[in-house]
Amino acid sequence: MQYDVTIIGSGPGGYVAAIRSAQLGFKTAIIEKYDTLGGTCLNVGCIPSKAMLDSTEHFHNAETTFGEHGIKINKPKADLGQMIKRKADVVKQTCDGVEYLMKKNKIDVHHGVGSFVDKNTIRISSGKENKEITSKYVIIATGSKPADLPFAKIDKKRIISSTEALELKEIPKNFVVIGGGVIGMELGSVYARIGSNVTVIEYMDRIIPTMDSTMGKELMKATKKLGIDFKLSHKVTSVENKGKEVLIKAEDKKGNTVDFKADYCLVAIGRKPYTEGLGLENAGLKTNDRGQIEVDEHLKTSVDNIYAIGDVIRGAMLAHKAEEEGVLVAEQLAGQKPHIHYKLIPGVVYTWPEVASVGYTEEELKEEGRPYKSGSFPFKALGRARASMDTDGVVKVLADKETDEILGMHIIGARAADMIAAGVTAMEYRASAEDVARMSHAHPTYMEAVKEACLAATENRAMHV
């Protein structure tokens, strides 16, 4: 079969690229090696982890705050099996939705491993049959997989990745997380809420180290209330499955050896690009020393008809980043001139409180030597936050010292994941802190904290603190 555009991989980047290609009139195909569409994000990543985060947050609130709200219940019991069943239902509904969108947009779906025969020909291998298709353009969207360490190989039994952490059959008594980044903090929160003793071991001197340092400090304060124990500036040296427990050895910042024992050890040190089985060499492609497929500013590879998007190329490994790239490639192929401002792609940690950031961090501005001013406003000063008992958190706004243009917005607090869109909007239109401060924000809302932080950045004019 002959296609105009073929996408290999059906994650958020791949399926969105397919939809936009079809909308633009291209005869489009998508290749997925698994039985369900949606990739890591929908099947074993973003969607299932958020389902578990929501379930455990409900449990945690029932256990800790219902009484103060005047809701009298017997002591709740966590049913991990039911939580995982509900998560599976959410995943199925979401993946079924993607399948519907493929049919709606008349996109041909081929299940099997797609590999290049040459730059225009792709072999699709499944357990049932092998077939070949040809395509004028190909978009590689094969995503990523969990990274491990030479001395901490994931065995999927006791030494686990995020995939297995979302399928455990028991609530661990002791749960060690290697890595205090997004995945480690989210899944550490899940199990801490339902009774596990969670220890987070982080090599750096702060958690969520890619975000503004204020966010890491505030998240650590908030999640310590869940009982999470943090071991910062610790270098893990060995992880060993002992049968019924895992032994983890690490060195603290003084070089002393520290031992940890756990029922399960989650290795959450990041993800790496996934290109196995693609047969890149047959198309004249290769990966760099980080395993990434290199692309130019138009996301075109070194082969003129092949593009790559998402986790398999440079940049943050975010579903929404991959989606924007999928749209960009499809629109370019149609002769349009789309653009992505990578600095304005937000990052989110779905703990509670949530953390969300966009633009420059304070550390980056200092490193660049760019004059800036900062304004902050705490959630505890918000009437809305007091009403909901979500007083942990702060909004931090960074603006150019001379022009007042907003350069960064960093939020930790209730609904930060939704609130950050206001920061993205303001920064896309190059708004000043004064512009946002002059806008009317409904009262009482969490968004008032953004207005107040902008006021604080503008001649320290915050009203309510």
The catalytic residues are: 443
Amino acid at 299: L
What CA–CA distance (Å, rounded) separates 334 from 17?
A: 12
The neighbouring-strand residues paired with 125 are 113, 130
Q: At what angle do helices 46-64 and 182-193 cross, to 10 degrees?
A: 40
Q: 424: closest CA among 340, 346, 320? A: 346
- DSSP assignment of 411-445 equals EEETTHHHHHHHHHHHHHTT-BHHHHHHS---SS-
Distance CA 429, CA 338 (A): 16
Q: Are 279 and 117 in contact (CB under 8 A)?
A: yes
Q: Per DSSP, which regions of 275-431 are E strands?
A: 306-308, 347-349, 354-359, 372-378, 394-400, 406-413
The rounded distance, in Å, linking the Cα atoms of 45 and 32 is 17
CA dihedral 181, 17, 166, 389 (to 10 degrees): 60
- Find the length of the chain: 465
Distance, in Å, from the CA atom of 312 to the CA atom of 17, rounded to the nearest integer, reads 15
Question: Are 22 and 102 spatial neighbours (Cβ–Cβ below 8 Å)?
Answer: no
- Tokens encoding 262: 């756990």
Which tokens is 438 given? 């002059």
Is 324 in contact with 339 (CB distance < 8 Å)?
no
The dihedral of CA 95, 96, 102, 104: what is its sign? negative
List C-alpha distances in Å: 347 to 286, 340, 343, 453: 29, 15, 10, 19
Radius of gyration of the chain (CA): 23
d(CA 457, CA 451): 10
Residue 338, preceding bond cis, omega within 30 degrees? no
